[in-house]
Structure formats: C-alpha cells, structure tokens
Structure 1
Amino acid sequence: MAKQTDTGNTIEDEPKLAEVSWLSKDQWWTDSKSFAKLKKRYKLDNSDFKFIDKNSLSINDPAQAVLIETINQINEYAQEQRKDFDLPLDLSLGTEFQQKVWRALQDINHGETISYADLARRIDNPKGFRAVANANGKNPFSLIIPCHRVIASDGKLGGYTGGLDKKEYLLALEGVKCRV
C-alpha cells in the first residue's frame, strides 16, 4: 500500500514482519506454515520470494533493516539481554479474533505463564479457551509474540508449534519451570 507525503510524493508503507517460524534442519523457508497464506494475502508467486543470507543483508534497505533488527533482538533474547521484542509486525494474516489473542499475548510478561482459560478471560471471552488455544497455535510470530508463555490449566506445557522441547527451553530461559 502506498501513501503520499506532504509534498505529494508517494512512498511505500514501512516494512513489517509477516512471519517468524520455527523450521527444522531439513526444512526450507517455503515449508513455513504460513507460506501459502502469505502468497495469497500479498498476491505473490514463488518468484517474488528470495532467500538472502543474513550476512548479505543491508541496513540501507528498509525491509532488510527490519530483518537485521529481528536477528539482533532474537540474539539478545537468547543471550538473556532482552525480555521483550520491539519490532513492526503485520498481523493481517489473522482473523480479527486471532489478532485480538495475539495482541493479548504481548501483554504476558517475561517469566510469567498464564493458562489458556486466563488468556480467554483477558480478552473478555471466558468460555473461549479452546478458540484462544487455536488462535495461539496460529500465531505467525512464535517467540516474538510470546505464545510459549501460555500453558494448560493443570500447569503442563500444552502445545507449541515449534515443539514442546522449544517451549520448555524458552520458558527455562525465562526462569520458568513447568510440568511436562
């Protein structure tokens, strides 16, 4: 989408992340769970996507600068130097309900866990814990939007798109011990 400046020139909207996913060693970025949705949403085909090695990214390209900042913030988080992420996100792949859940996830503090039922209450849908769990599982920004901080009411981990081993690791990194 383009917008006009005060001088009447047209500029593109600021770049935003559309997805951050866990991939296994044998997977390729096109294996991402949202790849088909991204193509449809932005009216793209395979030739519109390109892989850029992180060492070849340029801070002078606004879209690549977002990727560089994302890499930096994830590294800071992994080194326990960052508790929250401050990145521009495009939530438009989600329904209105999913977006509401994803915004509520961002209010869960580092090192805190809540249940799916608690999250449902936080969005004023106390009986919607199953729908909240489903929206949580469709979060295209796992880690950045901290869906790993939502656990089952009995204190067990519940599910996680990246795998329970990663959820357990992320919570341990934040000082949380959960029942497996």
Structure 2
Amino acid sequence: MISEKEQKRYYKALLAKDSTYDGIFFVGIKTTGIFCHATCPARKPKYENCTFYETAEEALLSGFRPCKRCKPLSFPREIPPLVQKMIELVEENPEKRWKDQDFADLGIHSMTARRQFKKVYGMTFVQYARSRRMGIALKSIKEGEKTIDTQLDMGYDSPSGFYDAFSKIMGSNPKKSKEIKSLSADWIDTILGPMMSIADDDYLYLLEFVDRRGLEREIERLRNRMNASIVPGKTRINEQIKEELALYFDKQLDEFKTPYLCIGSDFQKSVWQALTAIERGKTSSYKELANAIGNPNGMRAVGNANGANQLAIIIPCHRVIQTDGSLGGYGGGIERKKWLLKHEKEYSD
C-alpha cells in the first residue's frame, strides 16, 4: 500500500515532472479517467483528484485508461506500432474477450502478441485487455448507484443498455429463464486495498480483493451456477459485510455474522467448513486440514479447494500454511496473507 507520505512525495514529483519517477508510480486522474507518468506534459491536477499506483495493472483495474500524451505504458521504450494498434482496438471495444481467431484476423499469431506485450509492459495482451475490461466494470461498481445517473454520458441510451454492456464485461449472459436471480456488486475500500462483495437480500456469495488473479473467472462461475444477473448496487448484506470488515480491520469484531452461501462441491464445502474451525491467530497446514476432513491423502485436493474459496477473510484460507512453516500461496497475494496473519496474531494477544 502507498502511504500518505509517499503519495505526497509522488505528487511533488508529478508537479516537477521529475523523470526519475517515470516507471516508479502511475497517477490516475479522477476528473479525466486517465492515468499518467510523472513527466506527463498535460496540465497538472489537484492533489485530491489524484490516485497513485505502483503498477499499470492496478491503474487499469481501477478503471483508468492510459494517457495518449505521455503514453505511460511505453516506459522505458517506445511502443511498437502493432502493440499501439492493439491498445486502440481494446479502447474501441473494451468488453471484447480476445480469442486466437481475433489475432489471426489481424494477421498475427497470438503468441506474437503475447511476447510483444510482455516485453513492453511486463504483462501479456490478454492480461491488459482483461484488466481494462474488469477496470471498467469495477469502476461502475465503485460508483454504485451514481452509475445510473451518468450512463448517458457513457454513450448508453437506457438503463437496460448500460446493464447489458455491464453484464458482457462481468461475464457471459445468464441463460434466458424466469428463474434468473439478481445479485448486487458493491465496492469496499480497506486498508489492504479495495474489495468487491456480491450479494442479494439474503446471502453474501463472493468477497474478494479486486486485483485477485482469476477474479473474472470466479464471477463468471458464480453467474453460471446461480443463473444470475450481476449489477452495481447495494443490499443490506453488502452493507453488513462492509461494516463488519471495518470492525475486523480495527480489531473490534468478535466474529463475522454476515449470512453467506458457499457455491461448490460437497468436498469443497467440507474444506471450507474446516477452514472456519481454525481459530483467529492460529494456523493450520494443508496436511492437518486433510486429516481434519478425514482425507489424509487429499492434500492436493485440499489445496485446490482452498484456492477456490470465494469468501476471502470470512472463510480464512489465509490461515493455511505449508507443513514446513512457509506461507505458501494466497489468491490475494502473499503480502496480504502475511499482513492478515500478523494482524490476527496481534488481534488475539
């Protein structure tokens, strides 16, 4: 996380157009929706209109698009014409999900696009397109109800037009049926970065950090399994988990009481249930977890179920470590796992 002190230092560098900071931070401009380098020649924004990021992917996931003047994604080299063309194509149709045939239609191989993007940006083209697509959707969630008031400015003629486009970005349309559920997605700012909750009036179905790898697939699985339509909004459940998370991070919450529903196989549910039995401030190994559910040889399967958990923090998969004491993996990032374990240890002492 970028501290307030660092943000102010970055802002001074932005005002001074200090080239030594190019590639060190990216700044999202709330009033224009773009993100820039420190040396961007454009008129400088007010401090309160700036959001600072350490990576371009974070800026993209927050809904900002790259500035056409300073071309922040080109640092430290110029963008090849082919790569620039592909960026323009993403902007023309950000909800598009790219397939091998799309690259073939451009006269290039998908692996060529992957290598060129990786060389210039440190991320593949598919990652870039996904981050841009998810960024637009996540920005809509963050704005919540305000989205409806501003949709005409985005080029949509009606609420249904906006929701159709939002649904395409968030995942494939649910099967046409009278049984379609409506789920509300809300944005939650936390000390560890933004999270997203998806709920209806009865249960919480998903709680994740917005930069979690594979989030888009998680959302799509949820949509398909529940035959649901997901739109920006709030329910009493979204509000309840937001309040409880604030108390959790302030070390003032005894236990989460937000009602939730786990969507998965019986085996996955048994693993998730076992996770909730790990006391706050304690850890368990994959081996111990496998023994706890009566499947001592199922450590790999337990690990996979752990990774498929869609309710971060509430179902504490971050409390599972390797048998040798090393932290192992975590969908929200190893630094967050380390922070959560330290936080909970202090919480319990």
TM-score, structure 2 as length reference: 0.40
The equivalent residue for 1:153 is 323
1:168 maps to which residue? Answer: 338
Matched, 1:37 2:224: no
2:252 is the counterpart of 1:81:
yes
Alignment of 1:2-151 (within 5 A): 15-24=202-211, 31-44=215-228, 48-52=229-233, 57=234, 64-91=235-262, 93-151=263-321
Which 4+ runs in 1 deviate beyond 6 A? none
Answer whether contact 1:23 1:32 (CA < 8 A) is retained. Answer: no
**Contact 1:84 1:110 (C-alpha < 8 Å) held by counterparts:** no
**Which range moved further: 126-135 or 78-87?**
78-87
CA distance in 1, matches of 2:215, 2:306: 20
Alpha-carbon distance change, 32 to 78 in structure 1, aligned in 2, over 3 angstroms: farther
CA RMSD of aligned residues (A): 2.2
How many positions carry a matched residue from both structures? Answer: 148
Q: Name whichever of 79-88 and 150-159 sits farther off.
A: 79-88
Alignment CA distance shift 1:83-1:119 (3 Å): farther
For 1:20 and 1:67, the matched residues in 2 are separated by: 10
CA shift, 1:83, in A, is: 4.3
1:119-148 deviation line (CA, Å, top 9, x unaligned): 111101111111111100000001110000
CA offsets, 1:48-86, max 9 Å, x none? Answer: 32213xxxx4xxxxxx11111100111111111124312
> What is the distance in 1 between the residues matched to 2:285 and 2:270?
16
Structure with more of its chain in strand, by fraction: 2
Taking a change above 3 Å as real, the CA distance of residues 111 and 165 of structure 1, as seen in their structure-2 partners, is same
Q: Distance in 1 between matches of 2:201 and 2:321?
A: 34
Higher relative contact order (CA 8 A, sep 6+): 1
Larger Rg: 2
User: What is the CA distance between 1:33 and its match in structure 2?
Assistant: 3.7
Q: What is the distance in 2 between the residues matched to 1:65 and 1:110?
A: 26
Q: Distance in 2 between matches of 1:83 and 1:120?
A: 27
Q: TM-score, normalising length from structure 1?
A: 0.76
Structure with greater helix percent: 2
Runs of 5+ unmatched residues, structure 1: 2-12, 58-63
SS of equivalent residue, structure 2 residue 211: coil
Alpha-carbon spacing, 1:165–1:106, altered in 2? closer, same or farther (3 Å): same
| In 2, Cα distance between equivalents of 1:156 and 1:84 | 27
Measure the CA separation in 2 of the matches of 1:158 and 1:31. Answer: 20
Post-superposition Cα deviations, 1:9-33, rounded to whole Å, max 9, x if no partner, equal xxxx9611111111129x9xx9544
Q: Secondary structure at the match of 1:99?
A: helix
Q: Aligned partners of 1:20, 1:123: CA distance in 2, in Å?
A: 24
State the secondary structure of the residue aligned to 1:18: strand
